[in-house]
């Protein structure tokens, strides 16, 4: 495999999704009975995102150094070849997080209806995504000077419009494919809530899984162009999203009913591990469509189990602040890591002519921490303002109020709204609220 092909594999494999929303939802408004689950804040979910994101980074690091499918890495790094399952984790977590609020109001979408929901989702995920797309375009142009692999503006356009899984085009960042899938799932989220409310969880889950199985079976039997187009939409991820959505009901149910879900999670997770060990990375890749359906059950059941047992040792471990801190900027880490890994490999590490093991160690010890730090900076500058403030009006009001206060105090005035994320953004939000009321 040539270096250019290796880089393309690392960019295009893209088995990752970030959960684009942070939903540390308080359940104090549930008014549960004495026997109901009372998980407080499900902040451990941020740690789940953190481990999924870091696993995907490690996966892409392995592909960059050792190649794929002819991976030359040592057997001990074999589990890194299955980084695709990072997308399964993120999608299930996304459905679970989005379901926590509707479950408290009878599976209703909430104030503002459909378009307000879509506006909030767009506000949350699109500005960081588009900023990361711009960064990726610049990095691909830089890489083209060394790899003779020019940028495709058609690919940039399809990615900008989030239709890269519908219209073919060369990708500037292979990890972006799952952002399109998630965005498309948002459009049908109200419909999923309607079915769940009217017909119940069994009908919803069975109907979605049945459609996914039908598409998969049709493809395995030469289903034709239409089925192939449907596969590009990754319909199995829709089933995983539903798994997470259905599992969110745990916060309103008696705790004892959900403890056995830990065994379900363990058994299905082990089944996937055994299947992957038996099939090997290359054969398993061909069956990711089916394996996703099983790993999704493991993740959803695990989330339900941990939510129902707030004092469990595993949950307390996941609630360790450093883990949760990484999870809170896992979306930014996901958005940026792939092109940054390749730039570091092409311009810094590969020219050293090190043995593969030494090159992998150098990338893991120096490059990956630098990418994590850069992703955190991106999060503070680009992503966090759109988490702290819910509209341009709020963002401008907070900036104006903060400037006024800083001027009054004789301090330095921030140059842009994004700097509010670094200088007392919570106080800025309070001031924005006071300004808007006045």
pLDDT in tens, 41-64: 689 999 999 999 999 999 999 999
User: Has residue 20 got a pLDDT over 50?
Assistant: no
DSSP SS3 for 36? strand
As for how many domains the chain has, the answer is: 2
Q: What is the pLDDT of residue 255?
A: 65
Q: Radius of gyration (Cα) for the chain, nearest Å?
A: 22
Residue bearing the bigger pLDDT, 206 or 23:
206
Mean residue pLDDT across the chain: 85
Say whether both 377 and 401 belong to one domain: no
How far, in Å, are 3, 183, 204, 212, 247 from residue 92 at the CA level? Answer: 35, 14, 15, 16, 9
Quickly list DSSP for 309-359: -TT-HHHHHHT-HHHHHHHHTHHHHHHHHHHHHHHHIIIIIGGGT--HHHH
Residues 416 and 372 both lie in one domain: no
Residues 266-278, mean pLDDT to the nearest whole number: 96
Structure tokens, 246: 């259905």
**For position 257, what pLDDT does the model report?**
65
Same domain, 126 and 211: yes
199 and 213 belong to one structural domain: yes
pLDDT tens-digit map of 322-339: 999 999 999 999 999 999
Structure tokens at 111: 């104030």
Q: Are 171 and 155 in contact (CB under 8 A)?
A: yes
Q: Are residues 364 and 424 in the same domain?
A: no
Which residues make Cβ contacts (< 8 Å) with residue 208, sequence separation at least 6? 238, 239, 242
Indicate if 396 and 313 belong to the same structural domain. no
| Residue scoring higher pLDDT (41 or 121) | 121
Range of the domain at 407: 392-437
Question: What burial class does residue 31 get, using C-beta atoms within 10 Å of its C-beta: 0-12 exposed, 13-18 middle, 19+ buried?
Answer: exposed
Is 111 found in the same domain as 239? yes
Do 62 and 170 have their domain in common?
A: yes
Chain length of the chain: 438
Residue 409 and residue 309 in one domain: no
Q: Are residues 191 and 282 in the same domain?
A: yes
- Alpha-carbon distance of 432 to 368, in angstroms, equals 37
What one-character DSSP code corresponds to residue 371?
A: H
Do residues 372 and 396 share a domain? Answer: no
pLDDT tens per residue, range 351-380: 999 999 999 999 999 999 999 999 999 999
10 Å CB burial of residue 295 (0-12, 13-18, 19+) is buried
- Residue range 209-213: average pLDDT? 97
Identify which of 61, 15, 12, 56 has the alpha carbon closest to the alpha carbon of residue 172. Answer: 12
Q: Examine the domain organization and report whether 216 and 361 are in the same domain.
A: yes
Contact 253, 37 (CB under 8 A): yes
What are the pLDDT digits (tens) for 166-191? Answer: 998 899 998 999 999 999 999 999 99
State the maximum Cα–Cα separation within the chain, in Å, rounded to a whole number.
72
DSSP 287: T
pLDDT band at 417 (very low <50, low <70, confident <90, very high): very low
Q: How confident is residue 127, by pLDDT bands cut at 50, 70 and 90?
A: very high
| 140/155 Cα distance (integer angstroms) | 12
Band the pLDDT of 196: cuts 50, 70, 90.
Answer: very high
């Amino acid at each position: 495999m040539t270096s250019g092909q290796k880089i393309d594999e690392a960019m295009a494999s893209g088995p990752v999704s970030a959960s684009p929303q942070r939903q540390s939802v308080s359940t104090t408004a549930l008014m549960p009975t004495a026997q109901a689950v009372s998980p407080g804040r499900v902040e451990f979910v941020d740690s789940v995102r953190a481990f999924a994101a870091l696993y995907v980074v490690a996966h892409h690091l392995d592909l960059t150094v050792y190649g794929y499918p002819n991976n030359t890495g040592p057997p001990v790094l074999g589990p890194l070849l299955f980084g695709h399952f990072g997308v399964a984790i993120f999608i299930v977590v996304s459905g679970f997080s989005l379901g926590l609020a509707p479950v408290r109001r009878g599976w209703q979408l909430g104030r503002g209806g459909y378009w307000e929901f879509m506006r909030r989702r767009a506000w949350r995920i699109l500005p960081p995504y588009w900023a990361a797309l711009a960064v990726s375009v610049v990095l691909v142009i830089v890489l083209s000077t060394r790899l003779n692999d020019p940028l495709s503006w058609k690919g940039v356009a399809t990615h900008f419009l989030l239709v890269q899984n519908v219209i073919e085009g060369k990708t500037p960042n292979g990890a972006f494919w799952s952002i399109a899938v998630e965005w498309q799932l948002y459009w049908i989220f109200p419909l999923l809530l309607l079915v769940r409310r009217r017909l119940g969880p069994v009908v919803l889950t069975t109907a979605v899984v049945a459609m996914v199985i039908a598409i998969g079976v049709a493809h395995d039997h030469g289903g034709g162009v239409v089925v192939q187009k449907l596969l590009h939409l990754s319909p199995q991820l829709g089933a995983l999203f539903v798994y997470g959505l259905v599992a969110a009901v745990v916060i309103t149910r008696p705790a004892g009913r959900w403890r056995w879900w830990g065994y379900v999670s363990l058994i299905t997770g082990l089944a996937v591990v055994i299947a992957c060990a038996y099939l090997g990375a290359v054969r398993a890749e061909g069956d990711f469509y089916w394996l996703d359906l099983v790993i999704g059950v493991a993740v959803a059941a695990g989330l339900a189990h941990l939510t129902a047992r707030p004092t469990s040792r595993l949950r307390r471990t996941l609630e360790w602040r450093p883990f949760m801190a990484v999870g809170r900027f896992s979306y930014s880490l996901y958005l940026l890591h792939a092109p940054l890994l390749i730039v570091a490999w092409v311009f810094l590490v590969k020219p050293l002519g090190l043995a593969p093991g030494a090159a992998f160690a150098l990338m893991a010890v120096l490059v990956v921490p630098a990418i994590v730090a850069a992703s955190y900076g991106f999060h503070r500058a680009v992503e966090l303002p759109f988490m702290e403030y819910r509209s341009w009006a709020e963002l401008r009001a907070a900036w104006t109020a903060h400037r006024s206060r800083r001027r009054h105090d004789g301090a330095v005035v921030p140059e842009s709204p994004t700097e509010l994320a670094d200088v007392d953004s919570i106080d800025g939000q309070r001031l924005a609220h006071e300004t808007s009321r006045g």
